[in-house]
């Protein structure tokens, strides 16, 4: 029996993970659940899954959470704040940590799980983007294993041999090909993107996801973050990572080998496949996902991404090549710009402008430790807010 901490339990990934866990009560138990401010949803999940511990990240809501648990007659303990997440990630109440908090807010708990040698199921791509060198060092020190949950990286993980580091060193892998759906605005010109609303940007054609990642998918920043994530997770050269648009979202990514072989992973666009794989690896378990019938796949299309219209992908590549903490600055600027767009105070097309201006203003510094990295993250956020204020 594995005890699983589900961080970001109230979100899209968190609820999908709880669905998979509940299908296997003989193998997995949700022992720790967390949310940011959504006390009622967290308490409801506690009533259903009976964890030992529930954590509300906003420390001001600890009493509200304790009351909500008590009023439901639950024995689940209440805790609050980022430090409670870090302690739980490293503590004895879990063997496995699903990092599914959105954004930089998930960084410390992700690093804590890696340091503690837990099996880390990584959905929180922003943590890998911000702190690649720190995450790799923490995994090395902790000796645990990371299994990617992001569907593209989970697909690459499945298509690479277990000893993939060794294979890279021997030169067996030529390229990692990340597939991208192209988002809701694939094929549109810049002129057609002027009046995009948050709801239009969040209406993804294939995936049901939280609002931040949905906007990232619409700008192609999601693919940019994933290119950086792939470099961190698989240790390949930046130039060995390619992006190909595949609108059906059935092929989740491909590995190209030097002998001309391509290995791809296919499946429904349902995150429960990647979550079930990451939970059970190297075994396989039922995920509750509708079966894919290859006879009914009418066509699988592939095309090059339009990086001139969707500039965020190119900006992410530039940050990756710049190195140091440039990916963290890119991520911070993106989080602020996306929040402003969702709040209706920044046009869709201005998101890359803000990110580019921040990267131009702040030259990269080396990544030394999490404290200095988070200071830089804060600086990038305040520069982003200033730039957005000037634009509006």
Ligand X SMILES: NC(=O)c1ccc[n+]([C@@H]2O[C@H](COP(=O)([O-])OP(=O)(O)OC[C@H]3O[C@@H](n4cnc5c(N)ncnc54)[C@H](OP(=O)(O)O)[C@@H]3O)[C@@H](O)[C@H]2O)c1
The one among 150, 256, 325, 335 contacting ligand X by CB under 6 A: 150
- Residue closer to ligand X (CB basis): 56 or 255: 56
The one among 4, 10, 61, 316 contacting ligand X by CB under 6 A: 10
DSSP strands (E only) in the chain: 2-7, 28-35, 53-56, 77-80, 96-99, 119-122, 146-148, 173-180, 241-245, 251-257, 262-266
**Rounded least distance, CB 349 to ligand X, Å:** 22
Q: Is residue 126 a contact point for ligand X (CB under 6 A)?
A: yes
Question: For the range 53-58, what are the long-range contacts, defined as Cβ-Cβ under 8 Å and sequence gap of 24 or more?
Answer: 53/77, 53/78, 53/79, 53/88, 53/93, 54/78, 54/79, 55/79, 55/80, 55/81, 55/84, 55/85, 55/88, 56/80, 57/81, 57/82, 57/85, 57/101, 57/105
- Residue closer to ligand X (CB basis): 150 or 357: 150
Q: Is residue 131 a contact point for ligand X (CB under 6 A)?
A: no
Q: Is residue 156 a contact point for ligand X (CB under 6 A)?
A: no
Range 11-40, binding ligand X (CB under 6 A) = 11-14, 35-38
- Residue closer to ligand X (CB basis): 106 or 142: 106
Q: Is residue 207 a contact point for ligand X (CB under 6 A)?
A: yes
The one among 65, 102, 129, 313 contacting ligand X by CB under 6 A: 102
Beta pairing class for 53-56 and 119-122 = unpaired
Alpha helix stretches (DSSP H) within 310-369: 312-322, 326-342, 350-361
Could you tell me the two tokens for 157?
């993980």
The one among 4, 5, 8, 173 contacting ligand X by CB under 6 A: 8
Q: Is residue 107 a contact point for ligand X (CB under 6 A)?
A: no
Task: State the residue number with the nearest CB to ligand X.
Answer: 11
Give the interface size with ligand X as a residue count (CB under 6 A). Answer: 27
**Rounded least distance, CB 60 to ligand X, Å:** 13
Give CA 156 to chain center in angstroms.
15
DSSP secondary structure code for residue 303 in this structure:
B
| Interior/surface letters 85-102, b for 16+ CB within 10 angstroms, e for the rest | bbbbbbeebbbbbbbbbb
- Residue closer to ligand X (CB basis): 35 or 373: 35
Range 258-297, binding ligand X (CB under 6 A) = 271
Q: Which residue ranges make up the site for ligand X (CB under 6 A)?
A: 8-14, 35-38, 57, 100-102, 105, 123-126, 150, 207, 209-210, 212-213, 271
């Amino acid at each position: 029996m594995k005890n699983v901490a589900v961080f970001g339990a109230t979100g899209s990934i968190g609820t999908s993970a709880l669905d998979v866990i509940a299908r296997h009560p003989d193998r997995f138990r949700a022992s720790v659940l967390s949310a940011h401010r959504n006390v009622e949803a967290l308490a409801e999940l506690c009533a259903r899954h009976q964890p030992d511990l529930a954590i509300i990240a906003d420390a001001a809501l600890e009493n509200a959470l304790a009351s909500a648990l008590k009023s439901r007659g639950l024995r689940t303990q209440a805790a609050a704040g980022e430090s409670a997440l870090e302690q739980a990630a490293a503590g004895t109440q879990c063997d496995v940590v699903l990092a599914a908090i959105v954004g930089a807010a998930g960084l410390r708990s992700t690093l804590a799980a890696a340091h503690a040698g837990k099996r880390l199921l990584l959905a929180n791509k922003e943590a890998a983007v911000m702190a690649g060198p720190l995450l790799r060092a923490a995994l090395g020190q902790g000796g645990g294993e990371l299994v990617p949950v992001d569907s593209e990286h989970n697909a690459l993980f499945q298509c690479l041999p277990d000893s993939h580091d060794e294979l890279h060193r021997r030169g067996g892998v030529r390229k990692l090909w990340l597939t991208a759906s192209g988002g809701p605005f694939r094929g549109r010109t810049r002129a057609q993107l002027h009046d995009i609303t948050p709801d239009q940007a969040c209406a993804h054609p294939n995936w049901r996801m939280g609002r931040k990642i949905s906007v990232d998918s619409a700008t192609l920043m999601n693919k940019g973050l994933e290119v950086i994530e792939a470099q961190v997770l698989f240790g390949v050269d930046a130039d060995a990572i390619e992006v190909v648009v595949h609108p059906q979202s059935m092929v989740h990514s491909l590995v190209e080998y030097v002998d001309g072989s391509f290995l791809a992973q296919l499946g429904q666009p349902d995150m429960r496949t990647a979550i079930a794989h990451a939970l059970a690896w190297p075994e396989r378990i039922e995920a509750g996902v509708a079966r894919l019938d290859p006879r009914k796949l009418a066509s699988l299309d592939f095309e090059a991404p339009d990086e001139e219209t969707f500039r965020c992908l190119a900006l992410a590549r530039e940050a990756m090549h710049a190195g140091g903490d440039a990916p963290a600055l890119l991520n911070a600027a993106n989080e602020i710009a996306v929040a402003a767009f969702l709040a209706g105070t920044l046009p869709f097309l201005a998101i890359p402008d803000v990110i580019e201006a921040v990267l131009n203003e702040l030259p990269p510094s080396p990544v030394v430790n999490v404290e200095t990295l988070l200071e830089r993250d804060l600086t990038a956020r305040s520069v982003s807010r200033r730039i957005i204020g000037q634009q509006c």
